[in-house]
Amino acid sequence: MNERYFVKSMSRLKLSPQGNPRYKFVVVDRYGDTKILHTSPNAGWVYAITHGWENRMIQAITHETSRNTIVDQAELAETF
């Protein structure tokens, strides 16, 4: 699902088995609900993530698993 989120906080998780970075975001969606998003384990786009994403809007494509909401692709967004 393509959605805009406001990033309240973010943290770097343990590296994937292949050595790629992973992140966890605490975000607010357009309905005001707080969600937790995780980046997919071996995505190359995560190298573009900086801590400058905190307190900013992102545009993200996500999917849900039984336990987590996974970010497949994301970038900084201009508007909510």
**Tens-digit pLDDT string for the chain (80 aa):** 899 999 999 999 999 889 999 999 999 999 999 999 999 988 999 999 999 999 999 999 999 999 999 999 999 997 55
The answer to whether 62 touches 54, Cβ cutoff 8 Å, is no
HSE at residue 5, side-chain half, CA atoms within 13 A, is 26
Q: Dihedral of CA 54/58/60/66: which sign? A: positive
The domains found in the chain, sorted by start residue, are 2-76 (2.40.50.140)
Q: Determine the distance from the C-alpha atom of residue 65 to the mean position of all C-alpha atoms in its chain, rounded to a whole number.
A: 15
